[in-house]
């Protein structure tokens, strides 16, 4: 196992990207960081730059406006990284499925620029903090 995969599994630093979410999924991600759920005890740390991140937590169905920002953030993230699609919108556009301004979902946009990208899905509208933590832990366990 290479050192960067080892670091990703043991202490993933995450960067949060909102690509047009209604903010409920974002609130649940923030909830994971609060003392009640305290994901830092698992080594999961929120960072302020994709250049420092091992994983991306992406919410939202990806609007046309957000697409170039998501692509740029992904390019800036060191590889290998895991992209977590958090919530029904990020997984498959959810309630915004037929919206004129939506170009997602997340996997379609990321795979278009990197076919080897690692994508993990955490469904729910919004997913509970327990589901987000469980999804992150399970996905990292199979790397
Ligand atoms: S999955 Fe639900 S809670 Fe999350 S951004 Fe979409 S509509 Fe909002």
The pLDDT value given to residue 3? 66
Identify the CATH number of the domain in which residue 93 sits: 3.40.50.12280
Give, for ligand 1, the residue of 17, 93, 94 to mutate: max count of ligand atoms closer than 8 Å to Cβ: 94
The pLDDT value given to residue 42? 86
pLDDT in tens, 33-45: 999 999 999 899 9
Residue with tokens 């997340």: 106
Task: With a cut of 50, list the residues of the chain below it in pLDDT.
Answer: none
User: Considering its fold, how many domains does the chain have in total?
Assistant: 1
Per DSSP, 115 falls in state: T
Give, for ligand 1, the residue of 95, 97, 106, 122 to mutate: max count of ligand atoms closer than 8 Å to Cβ: 95
d(CA 83, CA 28): 17
The residue segments making up the domain with residue 49 are 3-141
d(CA 76, CA 78): 6
């Amino acid at each position: 196992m290479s050192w960067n995969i080892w670091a990703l599994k043991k202490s993933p630093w995450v960067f949060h990207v909102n690509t047009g979410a209604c903010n409920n999924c974002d609130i649940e991600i923030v909830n994971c960081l609060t003392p009640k759920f305290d994901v830092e005890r698992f080594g999961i740390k929120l960072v302020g730059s994709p250049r420092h991140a091992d994983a991306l937590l992406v919410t939202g169905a990806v609007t046309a406006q957000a697409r170039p920002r998501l692509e740029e953030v992904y390019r800036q993230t060191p590889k290998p990284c895991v992209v977590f699609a958090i919530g029904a919108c990020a997984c498959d556009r959810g309630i915004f499925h037929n919206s004129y301004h939506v170009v997602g979902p997340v996997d379609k946009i990321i795979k278009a620029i990197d076919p080897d990208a690692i994508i993990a899905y955490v469904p729910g509208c919004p997913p509970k903090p327990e589901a987000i933590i469980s999804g992150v832990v399970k996905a990292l366990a199979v790397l």
